[in-house]
């Protein structure tokens, strides 16, 4: 005769057996414990990797602007600067915030494209981040008292690779788009010192710009051919190799934005202007060499930033809350795109022409693409 154990007893025995077992401890992977800290927050609206790989981005041109759309976005506090790497694989975003004691904090995060996940993160208290080189990893900082500047390599553990106190107040430090030069501007004299980017050796000094304004600036823009001088309502270009100055570009109002085309043939400036008897926000396109006005783009809102497409055929304008794209050849408006909830402060075409990055006072960074 077979004996039967009641079901309730079996359940009790099973519970006791499980509880007496020791489960192995799960140790987080290195990736889980070493996620970089930054001021960026990847929202759920960003495309997932599986979505990104199913479509590719096309070069943005006037024939496909009807399908230009936001393909990714990320939150960023008080964006100050957008800089693409030369290969368009990363976008460096410089931001400025302050701590509880009102100390200025500057940070830069190199974001991978198109996922917008951080590749490098660097921050500094007090030292202003002036520029990020087209290698996507070299950062230029100016000390709070302006007596020195630093270069930091984000790709080598944020190590300082250069520290220099030149004996004058440093106004600006920028890198040429072709990674040939670094330009350091004297704040108390109208002079720019050019250094070889690779060796750090001084190459030449540029001067000759004159202004009555107490504040001026000089920097590389989108073209490696020119240094762009600016003071209030005046802009002037200076050839890097020859030192030759272009004609002066004068305006009725203070400049709010300016840039050159990548090939150095066109200068775009944003300032209020009288057009047909009405004073309006406007962008003027100039022949960079001759100083002749080519076109005037009349805007509804002031432009905070400008960026040419790599081929120089399109101009992206941050006009109020809108991204606008204009045809350079005839100065016609091709499209207006409204996604930001507040004023757009920065706009930048990628070097491959497949992405436009915008950042605004709504603390959002958008990537605009044409997916196919």
When the pLDDT of each residue in the chain is averaged and rounded to a whole number, the result is 88
- Give the position of tokens 């934005």: 257
Out of 31-35, 102-106, 187-191, 359-363, least confident range: 31-35
In DSSP terms, 123 is beta-bridged to 107
Residue range 195-213: average pLDDT?
94
Beta strands in 197-300 (DSSP E): 202-207, 217-220, 226-231, 234-239, 249-250, 257-260, 266-270, 273-275, 278-280, 282-287, 293-298
Report helix, strand or coil for 39. coil
pLDDT at 297 over 60: yes
In this model, does residue 4 exceed pLDDT 90?
no
Inform me whether the pLDDT recorded for 341 exceeds 80. yes
Q: Taking 90 as the threshold, does the pLDDT of residue 296 lie above it? A: yes
**Distances, alpha carbon 253 to alpha carbons 228, 229, 281, in Å:** 18, 16, 10
Sheet holding 149-153, edge to edge: 128-132, 138-142, 149-153, 159-164
Contacts of 102 (CB under 8 A, 6+ apart): none
pLDDT per residue as tens digits for the range 161-193? 999 999 999 999 999 999 999 999 999 989 999
- CA–CA separation, 219 and 189 (whole Å): 14
| pLDDT tens per residue across span 94-118 | 999 888 888 889 999 999 999 999 9
| Integer Cα distance of 73 and 84 in angstroms | 16
Q: Is 80 exceeded by the pLDDT of residue 26?
A: no
Residue 18 has a pLDDT of 33
Higher pLDDT, 99 or 8: 99
pLDDT at res. 147: 97
At 40 the pLDDT is: 38
> From CA 219, how far away is CA 226, in angstroms rounded?
9
| Confidence check: pLDDT of 130 > 90 | yes
């Amino acid at each position: 005769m077979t004996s039967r154990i009641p079901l309730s007893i079996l359940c009790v025995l099973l519970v006791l057996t499980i509880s007496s077992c020791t489960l192995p401890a799960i140790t987080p992977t290195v990736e889980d414990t070493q996620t970089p800290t930054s001021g960026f927050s990847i929202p759920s609206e960003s495309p997932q990797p599986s979505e990104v790989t199913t479509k590719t981005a096309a070069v943005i041109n006037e024939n496909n602007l009807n399908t230009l759309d936001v393909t990714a976005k990320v939150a960023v506090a008080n964006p100050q600067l957008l800089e693409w790497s030369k290969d368009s694989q990363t976008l460096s975003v410089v931001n400025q915030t302050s701590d509880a004691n009102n100390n200025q904090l500057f940070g830069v995060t190199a974001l991978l494209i198109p996922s917008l996940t951080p590749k490098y993160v660097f921050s500094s208290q007090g030292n202003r981040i002036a520029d990020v080189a087209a290698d996507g990893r070299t950062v230029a900082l100016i000390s709070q008292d302006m007596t020195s500047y630093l270069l930091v390599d984000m790709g080598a553990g944020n190590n300082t690779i250069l520290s220099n106190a030149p004996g004058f107040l440093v106004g600006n430090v920028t890198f040429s788009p072709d990674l040939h030069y670094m330009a350091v501007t004297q704040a108390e004299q109208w002079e720019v010192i050019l250094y070889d980017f690779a060796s750090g050796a001084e190459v030449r000094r540029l001067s000759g710009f004159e202004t009555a304004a107490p504040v001026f600036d000089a920097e590389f823009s989108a073209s490696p051919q020119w240094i762009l001088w600016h003071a209030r309502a005046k802009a002037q270009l200076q050839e890097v190799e020859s030192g030759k100055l272009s004609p002066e570009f004068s305006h009725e109002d203070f400049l709010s934005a300016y840039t050159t085309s990548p090939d150095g043939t066109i200068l775009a400036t944003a300032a209020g202007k009288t057009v047909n008897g009405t004073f309006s926000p406007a962008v003027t396109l100039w022949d960079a060499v001759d100083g002749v006005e080519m076109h005037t783009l009349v805007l509804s809102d002031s432009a905070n930033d400008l960026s040419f497409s790599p081929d120089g055929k399109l101009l992206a304008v941050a006009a109020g809350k809108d991204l606008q794209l204009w045809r350079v050849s005839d100065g016609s408006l091709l499209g207006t795109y409204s996604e930001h909830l507040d004023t757009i402060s920065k706009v930048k075409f990628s070097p491959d022409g497949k992405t436009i990055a915008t950042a605004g006072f709504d603390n959002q960074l958008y990537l605009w693409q044409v997916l196919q």
